[in-house]
Structure 1
């Protein structure tokens, strides 16, 4: 299988990505496994800007194809916050259990469809030849009244999907990957990689796994 770098240190994310990549011929590794120790400042105003910046900077450091994503939770009642600041909401080191409770507290007097929210994910691919591609995926839902579920990570325990009657943290991984914002964006990116990356991989430092 061909290995490519994903700009993350989050092992939970890597597991989800590799589940989605099954059958593609690609295997994703985190930055540290590829010998990359680089912190990219996510100072863009959109998910696209942040994803592209991470992918390009790490591609330039590694001279390999790099995937990066930027994703977040948009809560309509909070003017789509935390949005691009989802990971930094209430502080980078604040546990998500605390962040999730803060969001539910802000919506304590809000009910029904007024609790509407969505997960957004943009995946960017940066190629050593200078080409950049992006894909976007979303999933619509509502903020739950209480945290539920042990699967997933981040805001999953408070993101309720009415059509399935559960939070994304309660979903089996296969179902979540099919429905999720990241799953949709990665499925689209997988097609781009399969169609356009074959020739470039011939000179990839990683080679075959």
Structure 2
């Protein structure tokens, strides 16, 4: 089996978020036809793994088997050193059913205050998996390290971006120009590895 993403290939993005399509297209290049699991009405699997790579592989394999097409999935989140890596794979769940990340960021701040932590080290992880129907799965991971700041700053980006300052920077991801964030983000780093493995 040729483990390459061939130009013109149809790829199913294992997401029900249509907003992910332009992001994936921008990172992969415009050479692929990208559909989402939502567009194909595929069910969402339970994320039962304990790591980002495990959940990305689970979602990619599920979408590949359900659709019969090559599938791409990502699993990402923020980890805080003194919280033993939390929220980690539960990053979205900390935002509650309404996906309110103001709630999630407050929860992080409250946890740090509860334990009297002064260490603000944190990192974002993005795991990307590509699965072939009935075949192999390739997974890569990108990480960006930084520190937390409170209160949240900036209204760009999404999720925990307003409290995260990348290493060597002064602005939060929420304050940075999108192009500046994309140049160093965990997802960009993961896609660079994916391109090297399966495209270039």
Normalised-by-shorter TM-score class:
0.7 to 0.9
Q: Which residue of 2 aligns with 1:59?
A: 64
CA RMSD in angstroms, aligned pairs only: 1.9
Query: Would you say 1:28 and 2:50 are equivalent positions?
Result: no
SS, match of residue 106 in structure 2: helix
Q: Distance in 2 between matches of 1:187 and 1:150?
A: 26
Given candidates 10, 19, 23, the residue that maps to 1:16 is 23
Which consecutive segments of 4 or more residues in structure 1 shift more than 6 A?
none
The CA deviation at 1:11 is 3.8
Give the TM-score of the pair, scaled to structure 1.
0.83
Given candidates 116, 122, 126, the residue that maps to 2:121 is 116
Q: Which residue of 1 aligns with 2:51?
A: 46
The CA deviation at 1:188 is 1.5
SS, match of residue 79 in structure 2: strand
Q: Which residue of 1 aligns with 2:154?
A: 149
Q: Tell which deviates more after alignment, 92-101 or 49-58.
A: 92-101
CA contact (8 A) 2:74 2:128 kept: yes
SS, match of residue 92 in structure 2: helix
Q: Which residue of 2 aligns with 1:87?
A: 92
Runs of at least 5 residues in structure 1 that lack an aligned partner in the other structure: 196-209
Q: Which residue of 2 aligns with 1:165?
A: 170
Q: Which residue of 1 aligns with 2:5?
A: none
Given candidates 66, 70, 90, the residue that maps to 2:75 is 70
CA contact (8 A) 2:95 2:101 kept: no
The CA deviation at 1:127 is 1.0
The CA deviation at 1:65 is 0.6
Can you list the C-alpha shifts for 1:133-171, whole angstroms capped at 9, x where unaligned?
Answer: 000000001111111222221111111124221111222
SS, match of residue 176 in structure 1: helix
Q: Distance in 1 between matches of 2:75 and 2:167?
A: 25
Runs of at least 5 residues in structure 2 that lack an aligned partner in the other structure: 1-7
Q: Distance in 1 between matches of 2:165 and 2:21?
A: 23
SS, match of residue 91 in structure 2: helix
| More contact order relative to length (CA 8 Å, sep ≥ 6) | 1
Q: 1:116 to 1:137 in 2, by over 3 A?
A: same
Q: Distance in 2 between matches of 1:176 and 1:45?
A: 27
